[in-house]
Structure 1
Amino acid sequence: MRTDFAAYENTGLSREYLEILEAEQAEINPDSVNPTRPMDADRSRNSMCSSEAGRKLVSDWEQMGGFRVHLGNVQRDVGEMVRAAGGNREQRIFLENFSRSVPMGAEIALIDEIAAGRGLYVAPASSAEIKLFASTPAGRTLMEEWGSVAAERVAMLRSRAARMTANMSEDESADFWTWFDNLEPGPVAAIFRKLAG
């Protein structure tokens, strides 16, 4: 850092030093550190490659424009969703709860679904599906926001939830939906907004 700053930057030592400083700061005051700061791409890749589903997703992303591009998009979208939980403390608790409650296979299925984007056309949701969606606090809020496009957005959410669940084992799915069902309405609405487009 003192003798060759360009090499310090280019070799990634600056990122490593920043991580050390943030870890020290987090030990002193965990709520002072930005919980949605994106994880380094290499660390993310290593983490994802700890499971077969993760290795497949990494490989797929490499073939579809590059791992870093897809990871960056997912990290941006996830950051937006997590920030709906509140300040740094609430975001940190949200992420810690997610890590504790959601198995890796379910996390990979969720990441894959976020990266996939909205996908193809879906038939608008039925009035019964809309009524069920609107019976939740987050659903009521979003129905007011979405107005005339609500039927399409509810159908998109149902389609994405079904596709994501199909990519999980039965146990992973049960754990994921238990975690999701216990979220506060704010984060739920943020997740729905992002996934519905």
Structure 2
Amino acid sequence: MKSDFARYEDEGLNKEYLALLEAEQYEVDPDSIPATRPLPADQSRTELCSSEAGRKLVHDWDRSGGFKAHLANVQRDVGEMVRTIGSVRDQRVFMERFDREVPIPARLAVYDEIAAGRGLYVAPASASEVKHFASTPAGRKLIEEWGSGAAERVAMLRSRAARMTANMSEADADDFWTWFDNLDVGPVAAIFRKLAG
């Protein structure tokens, strides 16, 4: 670091040093380290490629606009959702539960759906579909927020949920929806806002 700073950076020692400093800081005060700091693209690629489903996702993203671009979009959107959940500790617990309780193929289907974006126009949801959505605490809160745009946003959520579920096995989808159904109102509303927005 002192004698050849360019080499220090080229060999990635600056990142290693930063990781050591953050690990020390985390031991002193876990809430001082952001929970949503994204992994570098090369590290994310390596982790994803440790499973067959991950290798397929990396391949698909490489072919449709580039892995780094899709990863950056997913990391941004997930970070925005998670940061609305509460304290850094709450955010970390949320992400750890997601990683622990949702099977890898289901997690990857979620990431792929986030990367895909809202997609094409959907016909607004019917009054009964909006009413059903509003029967949950998060749904009721969001229907009030969305006002006259609620029918289109509910339809978008239904479309995205169906597409995401179709990309999971039945068992993985069951595990994902069980995890989702056990979330508190705040995280559910944050996820719905982002996916419908």
CA RMSD in angstroms, aligned pairs only: 1.3
Equivalent residues in 2 for 1:79-98 (5 A)? Answer: 79-98=79-98
Q: Runs in 1 of length 4+ with deviation above 3 angstroms?
A: none
32-41 or 14-23: which moved more?
A: 14-23
TM-score by length of 2: 0.95
Which residue of the partner structure matches residue 25 of structure 1?
25
The amino acid of 1:134's aligned partner reads: A
Percent of aligned pairs with the same amino acid: 71
**What is aligned with 1:166?**
166
Q: Which residue of 1 aligns with 2:54?
A: 54
Deviates more, 1:125-134 or 1:23-32: 23-32
Q: How does 1:151-190 map to 2 (within 5 A)?
A: 151-190=151-190
Return the offset for 1:32.
2.4
1:16-71 CA deviation, whole Å, 9 max, x = no partner? 22122222332343322211001121121111112222111111211222211111
Residue matched to 1:39: 39
Q: Distance in 2 between matches of 1:182 and 1:104?
A: 19
Deviation at 1:107, TM superposition (A): 0.5
Q: What amino acid is the match of 1:116? A: A
CA distance in 1, matches of 2:2, 2:73: 34
Three-state SS of the structure 2 residue aligned to 1:21 is helix
Q: Which moved more, 1:57-66 or 1:92-101?
A: 57-66
Distance 1:17 1:65 in 2: 33
The count of aligned residue pairs is 197
For residue 50 of structure 2, what is the amino acid of its counterpart? Answer: S
Cα 1:119–1:104 change in 2 (3 A) is: same
What's the CA shift for 1:156? Answer: 0.5
* TM-aligned CA deviation for residue 118 of structure 1: 0.3
- Structure 1 contact 26–33 (Cα < 8 Å) conserved: yes
What corresponds to 2:110 in structure 1?
A: 110
Q: State the TM-score, normalized to the length of structure 1.
A: 0.95
- Contact 1:31–1:92 (CA under 8 A) maintained in structure 2: no
- Cα distance in structure 2, aligned partners of 1:19 and 1:168: 35
* Cα distance in 2 for residues equivalent to 1:183 and 1:169: 21
Unpaired segments ≥5 residues, structure 2? none
CA contact (8 A) 1:106 1:176 kept: yes
Alignment partners' CA distance in 1, 2:29 and 2:169: 37
* Residues 169-196 of structure 1: CA deviation (Å, up to 9, x unaligned): 1111111111111111111111111111
